[in-house]
Amino acid sequence: MSEMNEWVKWIDEAIAKKHIKHYEYKYFKHIQEIGTGGFGKVYRAKWKNSYQYFALKSLLNIEEDAIKELVHEIELQREVTFHNNVISFHGVTISDQENQSNNIKKYLLVMEYADGGSLSKYLKENFEKLTWEVKLNLAYQLASAVSCLHDEDIIHRDLHSNNVLVNQNTIKLADFGLSKRIEASTKKKKDLFGIVPYMDPKKFSNRSYSLNKKSDVYSVGVLLWEISNGKPPFYVEGESYDCSLAFQIVQGHRETTVPDTPIEYVKLYTECWDDNPDNRPSIQEVVERLDGIINQKTENIDEKTDQSFTNKNIVLNSIEESSHGELSQVIQEFNKMNTKEIMGTMTSTSNQIISQNILPENDLSVIVNNITEFILEVLNNKRNNDKLRQKVIDYFNNQNINPQEIYNWLFNNQNYNSNSIFLLGFFNLYGIETSENKMMAFDLFINASEQDHTLAQYFVGFCYYCGRGTSQNYPLAFKYYEKVANKDCAIGQLYTGSCYSNGHGINKEPKLAIYWYEKAANNGNVLGMSNLGYCYKIGEGVEKDIDKAIYWYKKSAEQGYERAQKYLEELMKTK
């Protein structure tokens, strides 16, 4: 009991010295059990009156070894929580339901909540719509997370598809309860057997064999196969894994290759699950080879397709291609700019002198309002190719603003007005001073949109259109775009025209597409101008008129839209 008290004292001191954030248990709401494992139970809970959900991870029993494992979990999580593909550790809470038998506090870890559940569940529910581009990205993210652990000399030892989580289509490695530092292994070792198909066969044939980094690589190889198949290895409904399967695996039995799997991918996971650990690649080599497979795959993708796949840390939902050649390119370019490359220039209203010191609430609310106006003008005008996220960050840097201070104010004052609600959603959507949380962003946009906030309504439409934080729903996307369009807002007019042009969420009506493109163009939107040029060029929704096509392409190009310049040059050659 004395050693156990030392572990408890360690936790309490870490909280007191603010090395670990403490969350008051009474402020968690709607606590719901979502899982049970060997370590303990996991709950989903809402924090205070915000839209922030956390996962609360508890111990199944309050014993010395359990408390010790809790401390190990905290230490390890703090060392790797910076990685985008490792579940984030936020702090600790203490349940108000104490264990009466020994009067020991009931600690729970406060963790990032993964809305997609386990990788096994995610694959079961989404596999039919996953492209190979998405599968390769999942594999890359998984290997990158394990590589992060190995760089910190941490071995997971129990990798399988139920403790690999998915949040907003992004891999999140979890459950470090069985992990140990290589140089700090305890004297009291346990022979942990794990889940048979993912376990290093050496452990089956030699109980004294110490699991190591190459054992993790074996598990990664099995998981790579599972990503290619959509089901757990050797899965038979209604049956559990047993010793006979372990014996077969020791004898060299492995799962069969899934048809149409890239040959280099097959070679990689086959090498990972080799019987001889010395023949297995390092996890860093796995990462590098997956990167090579992804790049090779990308080179074979036509330039007209969505290139968001090349971002290996975030798997973006693909946007359905238009059936119109050049106009499809324009619309796809627009969709990509909305997620990563939204263009903008600094407005005079946002160029106010702001101190780097902590600002009073009134000043902070003014800054929030100015940023919101800036974002709206950027979206409406689209004057250059700078990324919107980066422009906001540059704004902070140029004005000596501490973005963390802004985020903290937004988080604590999200009900201050509709601008603060919207901007908190924006920060969560783009991962500014917080991890990307598209589900929370969507909830905040919905809240602000109910207060008739124009930008929030646009972003609700965007989330429905692209499936960010919610299921893709073209009719609802059109509904919100039209609301924004009817406010004489160029970004809503452009997207409403796009929906009419492609028949997304509404019947295809080329003449109505022209109507809204003209409104967007007359409001200064460069993509509306370019789209009009294309429509006049081919006579879609309007009588064919090359001179008008040249006029609108030229006007768009003069405003800085490079694609319009390219289309203009091509059109002039054929005139």
Helix (H, G, I), strand (E, B) or coil at 36: strand
The reported pLDDT for the residue numbered 443 is: 86
Domain boundary residue among 90, 112, 134? 112
Dump pLDDT digits (tens) for 399-457: 787 888 888 888 887 777 899 999 999 998 988 888 888 888 898 999 899 999 999 99
Residue 26 is part of a domain; what is its CATH number?
3.30.200.20
Question: What average pLDDT does the segment 24-35 reach?
Answer: 89
Task: Verify that 168 and 23 share a domain, yes or no.
Answer: no
Bridge partners of 42? 35, 57
Among residues 309, 278, 344, 294, the alpha carbon closest in space to that of 560 is found at 344
Among residues 4, 285, 279, 261, the alpha carbon closest in space to that of 136 is found at 261
The reported pLDDT for the residue numbered 185 is: 39
Domain boundary residue among 249, 276, 310? 310
60 touches 39 (CB < 8 A)? yes
Least confident of 55-69, 492-506, 546-560: 55-69
Among residues 564, 560, 559, 562, the alpha carbon closest in space to that of 549 is found at 564
Task: Verify that 87 and 134 share a domain, yes or no.
Answer: no
Helix (H, G, I), strand (E, B) or coil at 107: strand
Cα three-residue angle 208-211-216, rounded to 5 degrees: 155
**Which pLDDT band, with edges at 50, 70 and 90, does 517 fall under?**
very high
Task: Verify that 444 and 526 share a domain, yes or no.
Answer: yes
Structural domain boundaries, residue 556: 325-574
Residue 316 lies in a domain: no
Task: Verify that 144 and 84 share a domain, yes or no.
Answer: no
Task: Verify that 90 and 162 share a domain, yes or no.
Answer: no
What would the two tokens of residue 479 be?
A: 């509904």
Q: How many domains does the chain have?
A: 3
Residue 188 lies in a domain: no
Residue 319 lies in a domain: no
Question: What average pLDDT does the segment 226-255 reach?
Answer: 88
Describe the crossing of helices 64-80 and 2-16 by its angle, rounded to 10 degrees: 30
Residue 425 is part of a domain; what is its CATH number?
1.25.40.10
Task: Verify that 350 and 279 share a domain, yes or no.
Answer: no
536 touches 549 (CB < 8 A)? yes
Task: Verify that 7 and 130 share a domain, yes or no.
Answer: no
Residue 335 lies in a domain: yes
Among left, alpha and beta (phi > 0; psi -120 to 50; other), residue 109 is beta
The reported pLDDT for the residue numbered 298 is: 54
**Which pLDDT band, with edges at 50, 70 and 90, does 73 fall under?**
low
Residue 400 lies in a domain: yes
Checking if the pLDDT of 247 tops 90, the result is: no
Task: Verify that 379 and 426 share a domain, yes or no.
Answer: yes
Neighbours of 58 (CB within 10 A): 19
- Buried residues in 196-228 as b, exposed as e (16+ CB within 10 A): bbbbbbbbbeeeeeebebbbbbbbbbbbbbbbb
Task: Verify that 19 and 54 share a domain, yes or no.
Answer: yes
525 touches 380 (CB < 8 A)? yes
Within a 13 Å sphere around the CA of 61, how many CA atoms are in the beta-carbon half?
4
Checking if the pLDDT of 92 tops 70, the result is: yes
Q: Is 554 assigned a ligand-binding role in the annotation?
A: no
Residue 407 lies in a domain: yes
The reported pLDDT for the residue numbered 436 is: 83
Task: Verify that 373 and 481 share a domain, yes or no.
Answer: yes
Task: Verify that 86 and 153 share a domain, yes or no.
Answer: no
Residue 317 lies in a domain: no
Is this model's pTM higher than 0.75 or not? no
CA distances from 423 to 366, 403, 468 (A): 13, 12, 16
Helix (H, G, I), strand (E, B) or coil at 103: coil
Checking if the pLDDT of 477 tops 90, the result is: yes
Residue 150 is part of a domain; what is its CATH number?
1.10.510.10
| DSSP-derived secondary structure for 317-336 | PP-PPPSSHHHHHHHHHHHH
Residue 306 lies in a domain: yes
